[in-house]
Amino acid sequence: MAKALSEAGADICIASRNEEINSSAIKFLSSSYNNKSISYCCDVTIEDNINKAVQLTEEHFGKIDILINSAGINIRGKIEDISLSDFNKVQQVNVTGAWLACKAVVPVMKKNSYGKIINMGSIFSVTAMTERTPYAVSKGAILQLTRSLAIEVADKNITVNAILPGPFATEMNLPIMNDPEKYRSFISKIPMGRWGALNEIGGLALFLSSQASSFVTGSAISIDGGWVAQ
């Protein structure tokens, strides 16, 4: 998504808790595109971290036009095997982190009467699968956060939408990709018969970040090879 936005000329701030990954991403963006790319080390479960990242980003660029809430974790297992601590951890990263980022960025966007917020939901925002209760609960909450906030800030020229990815070849999905039985099970649910390639999500992020989506808000767009259409 950062690559797609950079290709379109956007300046980028990468914020994650892993400084090594941040530096690698910024090195790639800076060497590949004619834009400004910066990063900040940020744990989305810590409000002060988010507030500082937003403050420093605004100071560096003068404004914030786009927020993509993409931090997420998944802890799989039968409900009786998952601890309350693990359940809460998923909610803190996936839900509280997104809510805190929105809370910090909205006032900045209101000052400029413009903003594009994209929350990363999941196909599990609208459908379900066994052994996914923490993740499905969190992504259902993301859908409602998106809808509620979209209505709240609609008169401020700020749009809020959600992307609902199906299976993509990300690090989070390695346990499934490396298990032949689970991999086949996933593929059987996708009418297109394959997983999504990472570059395929960039175009949707770019659309929701641009004036092309100026009348789109409170929406959740699936990108899943047809999974939830069944």
Q: How confident is the model at residue 25 (pLDDT cuts 50, 70, 90)?
A: very high
Mean pLDDT of the chain: 95
Provide mean pLDDT across the span 148-171: 94
Burial of 197 (0-12, 13-18, 19+ CB in 10 A): exposed
Higher pLDDT, 65 or 182: 65
Provide mean pLDDT across the span 20-27: 94
CA 63 to chain centre: 20
Indicate whether 119 pLDDT > 90.
Answer: yes
157: left (phi over 0), alpha (psi -120 to 50) or beta: left
| Residue 195 confidence (pLDDT) | 87
| Residue 142 confidence (pLDDT) | 98
**25 is written with which tokens?**
């991403």
Name the CATH superfamily, with its identifier, for domain 2-229: NAD(P)-binding Rossmann-like Domain (3.40.50.720)
Residues of the chain with pLDDT > 70: what percent? 100
Q: How confident is the model at residue 170 (pLDDT cuts 50, 70, 90)?
A: confident
| Residue 182 confidence (pLDDT) | 80
Q: Give me the phi and psi of 178, to 5 degrees please.
A: -90, 0
| Residue 184 confidence (pLDDT) | 83
Provide mean pLDDT across the span 181-194: 87
Calculate the alpha carbon distances from 132 to 65, 165, 176, 213, 222 in Å: 34, 15, 13, 32, 19
What pLDDT digit, counting tens, does each position of 68-116 carry?
999 999 999 999 999 999 999 999 999 999 999 999 999 999 999 999 9
Give the span between the Cα atoms of 203 and 86, in whole angstroms: 33
Burial of 80 (0-12, 13-18, 19+ CB in 10 A): exposed
Which sequence positions are flagged as catalytic?
135
Least confident of 45-49, 106-110, 186-190: 186-190
What residue segments make up the domains of the chain, in order of their start? 2-229
Indicate whether 168 pLDDT > 90.
Answer: no
Query: In one letter, which amino acid is 78?
Result: K
Q: How confident is the model at residue 53 (pLDDT cuts 50, 70, 90)?
A: very high
Burial of 166 (0-12, 13-18, 19+ CB in 10 A): buried
Calculate the alpha carbon distances from 155 to 66, 107, 185, 215, 223 in Å: 17, 13, 44, 12, 28
